């Protein structure tokens, strides 16, 4: 009985440390990106406005994620008529398990964060970005699709964090049509 209790305590401590490490990794990547791009004209990555959902999402997934090896794709909802809100969409991909989790909230109760293991129509863009990143190990080839819209309220910014490879990408003002980035040349 004593051994079983000891094993349970080790599992709980390891699980909490893993979530804490992922959060620290994401925050460090965000900080590094913002510092490196301070004078480049690229906008900063913001993971928290009045609401800071990443910590809550990782807490909800603490029993699911077994390692720190994740890819997080995060975006604030920025399409008319709900620009500048606390509404977000996040895809969390457990690289070791090959499993995706989907987190989002709704305007009616934006503090209620929903985490599911099935996709819905709001995650088509995040799934496209994940597949592109897994296929190419980069998202640099999608920079040509940035800032294509004439209105800041049409496109969406997407942030991708790869905790294992310590990569972060910020795609600014991307417009998707039928599940793929659109160009307006």
Tens of pLDDT along 56-91?
Answer: 888 889 888 878 888 998 988 865 445 566 888 999
Please enumerate in sequence order all residues whose Cβ is within 8 A of that of 59, keeping only pairs 6 or more positions apart, or say none: 19
153-169 tens-digit pLDDT: 556 788 888 888 888 88
Q: Max Cα separation, the chain?
A: 69
Phi, psi angle pair for 71, to nearest 5°? -120, 125
Query: In degrees, to the nearest 5, what angle opens at C-alpha 102 toward C-alphas 129 and 25?
Result: 75
Tokens 């994620």 found at: 65
pTM score over 0.95: no
């Amino acid at each position: 009985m004593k051994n079983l209790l000891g094993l349970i305590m080790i599992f709980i401590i390891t699980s909490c440390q893993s979530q804490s490490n992922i959060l620290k990794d994401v925050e460090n990547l965000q900080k590094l990106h913002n510092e490196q791009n301070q004078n480049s004209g690229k906008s900063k990555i913001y993971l928290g406005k009045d609401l800071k959902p990443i910590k809550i999402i990782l807490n909800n997934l603490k029993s699911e994620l077994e390692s720190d090896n994740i890819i997080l794709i995060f975006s604030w909802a920025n399409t008319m008529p709900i620009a500048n809100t606390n509404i977000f969409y996040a895809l969390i991909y457990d690289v070791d398990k090959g499993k995706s989790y989907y987190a989002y909230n709704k305007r009616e109760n934006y503090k209620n964060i929903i985490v599911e293991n099935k996709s819905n129509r709001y995650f088509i863009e995040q799934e496209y970005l994940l597949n592109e990143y897994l296929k190419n190990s980069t998202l640099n080839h999608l920079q040509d699709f940035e800032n294509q819209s004439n209105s800041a309220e049409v496109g969406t910014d997407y942030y991708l964090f790869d905790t294992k490879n310590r990569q972060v990408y910020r795609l600014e003002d991307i417009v998707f049509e039928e599940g793929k980035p659109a160009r307006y040349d």
